[in-house]
């Protein structure tokens, strides 16, 4: 056991404040948000006229605190997803910088997507310094129909973790790594303790301010969780997807979030994702090459799953320790091994991870202890646009390369001129059923 260096170990559910992180007061009007949620859930109405067209106005419009999109000045777009676009904006009243997430409604007959409603409800109930908070919901105009977009108003963060690891890679010392991991684990411990599973933890969904504060965001795929129930396995972006999901095991647990965290830990420390798979089958093969092939000894019961029976795998030992022993410190490597454990029942929990020696051999720096970053900040969306523009200007790229770039544009990264082949069809989680 490594020395605590005079520090007192804990994780019995203590708050973020007791861990040395400042508390941020919530400014959201919960009554107004509740009313907006009820309105969005009922839009469009199920009643139809004789021509079978939806009647969207039979639901009384909610009280949006009298504010609309006109009360904000949109500065630039910083993100885009399947059901929403994110903008950096300025509140004309308070002159504060905020993030506006536009909820897209592509078909008024279907109403607002279940992922958006779930995200609102979960953000409404989560209250933690390391979790992005929902401050307000505003409509485009004073009168709202079921097919009109609405905007979620949240605190703006200068970067996401993708932008930090790319733009400030040379500045990220072990102090940044430990501070970021501690804050992220505090957020994950909090949601797991409160029966919520995120199901899409990745660099782009982790927001970081220039002064070192971190918040877990994007709750569209998250949901309440209870042991023993079945859930859809088509969740989590492919590179961060746990092996139990790839084996289509529907009785999964909060351990899938911890696997994603292990993948993030590798990226944070080495600058490279550990599993760059193209398909689910390719992901399994890559995982087994690094972590070893599962069997009844290291993962009891795995041989009875249909996918394991159908596929043939070479018997491979784990090489995780050999691969990273030169890049990682011993405590970093030990925590990584426990995060990337094949059997989810043996995988380390957020509570136990917070008590790992990695965080206790010396004091973990507070965000205010870290040298701040300066400038506009950086997000994955902006990096992709920049990379796409750079590649398109290169004369040796013929039209066939441009077509390929367009096809993969949303998921490609500019690193040594390679493509992230995590395409939407094979890698982006879709969960239209709401499970």
Q: In what order do the strands lie in the sheet with 84-91?
A: 72-80, 84-91, 97-103, 150-155, 134-139
**Which domain covers residue 88, as residue numbers?**
31-46+60-155
Claim to verify: residue 164 and residue 110 sit in the same structural domain: no
Claim to verify: residue 293 and residue 178 sit in the same structural domain: yes
Q: How far apart are CA 205 and CA 380, in angstroms?
A: 10
Summarised one tens digit per residue, pLDDT across range 30-67 is 566 666 666 666 554 333 333 333 323 333 445 556 78
Residue 4 forms part of a structural domain:
no
Catalytic residue among 135, 200, 218, 257: 200
Q: How far apart are CA 324 and CA 400, in angstroms?
A: 38
Claim to verify: residue 329 and residue 187 sit in the same structural domain: yes
Claim to verify: residue 148 and residue 177 sit in the same structural domain: no
Q: Domain ends where: 322, 348, 369?
A: 369
The confidence band for 114, taking pLDDT boundaries of 50, 70 and 90, is confident
Q: Domain ends where: 155, 187, 212?
A: 155
Residue 117 forms part of a structural domain:
yes
Q: Domain ends where: 337, 369, 401?
A: 369
Evaluate if residue 415 carries a pLDDT over 90.
no
Q: How far apart are CA 203 and CA 206, in angstroms?
A: 5
Residue 408 forms part of a structural domain:
no
Domain harbouring 237, CATH code: 1.10.510.10
Claim to verify: residue 232 and residue 278 sit in the same structural domain: yes
CB 278 within 8 A of CB 420: no
Claim to verify: residue 322 and residue 268 sit in the same structural domain: yes
Residue 55 forms part of a structural domain:
no
Residue 200 bears catalytic tag: yes
In angstroms and rounded to an integer, the radius of gyration of the C-alpha atoms of the chain is 22
Tally of domains within the chain: 2
The confidence band for 246, taking pLDDT boundaries of 50, 70 and 90, is very high
Residue 229 forms part of a structural domain:
yes
Residue 284: how many other CB atoms lie within 10 Å: 22
Q: How far apart are CA 358 and CA 352, in angstroms?
A: 11
Continuous H helices in 132-279: 161-167, 174-193, 243-246, 255-270
Summarised one tens digit per residue, pLDDT across range 3-34 is 444 455 655 554 444 344 344 344 445 566 66
Evaluate if residue 79 carries a pLDDT over 70.
yes
CB 298 within 8 A of CB 342: yes
Give residue 298's Cα distance to chain centre. 29
Claim to verify: residue 125 and residue 170 sit in the same structural domain: no
Q: How far apart are CA 400 and CA 406, in angstroms?
A: 10
Claim to verify: residue 250 and residue 124 sit in the same structural domain: no
Which pLDDT belongs to residue 52? 35
Q: Which two tokens stand for residue 285?
A: 């093969």
Claim to verify: residue 150 and residue 276 sit in the same structural domain: no
């Amino acid at each position: 056991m490594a020395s605590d260096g005079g520090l007192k170990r804990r994780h019995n559910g203590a708050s973020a404040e007791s861990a040395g992180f400042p508390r941020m007061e919530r400014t959201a009007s919960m009554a107004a948000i509740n009313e907006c949620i009820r309105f969005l859930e009922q839009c469009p109405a199920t009643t139809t006229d004789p021509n079978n067209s939806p009647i969207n106005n039979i639901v009384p419009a909610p009280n949006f605190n009298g504010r609309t999109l006109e009360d904000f000045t949109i500065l630039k777009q910083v993100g885009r997803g399947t059901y929403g676009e994110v903008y950096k904006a300025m509140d004309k009243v308070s002159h504060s910088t905020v993030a506006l997430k536009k909820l897209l409604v592509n078909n008024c007959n279907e109403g607002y997507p279940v992922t958006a409603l779930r995200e609102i409800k979960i953000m409404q109930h989560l209250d933690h310094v390391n979790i992005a908070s929902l401050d307000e919901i505003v409509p485009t105009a004073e009168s709202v129909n079921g097919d009109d977009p609405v905007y979620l108003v949240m605190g703006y963060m200068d970067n996401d973790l993708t932008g930090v690891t790319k733009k400030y890679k040379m500045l990220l010392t072990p102090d940044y790594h430990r501070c970021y991991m501690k804050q992220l684990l505090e957020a994950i411990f909090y949601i797991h303790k409160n029966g919520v599973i995120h199901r899409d933890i990745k660099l782009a969904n982790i927001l970081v301010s220039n002064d070192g504060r971190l918040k877990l965001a994007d709750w569209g795929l998250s949901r309440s969780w209870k042991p023993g129930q079945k859930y859809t396995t088509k969740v989590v972006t492919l590179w961060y997807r746990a092996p139990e999901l790839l084996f289509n095991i529907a009785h999964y647990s909060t351990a899938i979030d911890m696997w994603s965290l292990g993948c993030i830990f590798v990226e944070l420390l080495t600058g490279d994702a550990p599993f760059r798979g193209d398909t689910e089958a390719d992901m399994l093969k890559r995982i087994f090459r690094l972590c070893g092939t599962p069997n009844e000894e290291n993962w009891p019961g795995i041989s009875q799953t249909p996918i394991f029976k159908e596929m043939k795998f070479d018997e491979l030992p784990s090489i995780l320790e050999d691969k990273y022993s030169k890049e990682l410190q011993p405590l970093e490597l030990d925590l990584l091994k426990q995060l990337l454990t094949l059997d989810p029942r043996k995988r380390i929990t957020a509570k136990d991870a917070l008590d790992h020696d990695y965080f206790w051999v010396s004091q973990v720096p507070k965000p205010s202890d870290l040298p701040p970053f300066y400038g506009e900040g950086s997000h994955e969306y902006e990096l992709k646009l920049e990379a796409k523009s750079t590649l398109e200007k290169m004369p040796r790229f013929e039209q066939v390369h441009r077509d390929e770039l367009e096809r993969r544009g949303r998921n490609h990264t500019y690193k040594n001129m390679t493509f992230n082949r995590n395409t939407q069809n094979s890698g982006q989680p879709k969960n239209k059923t709401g499970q």
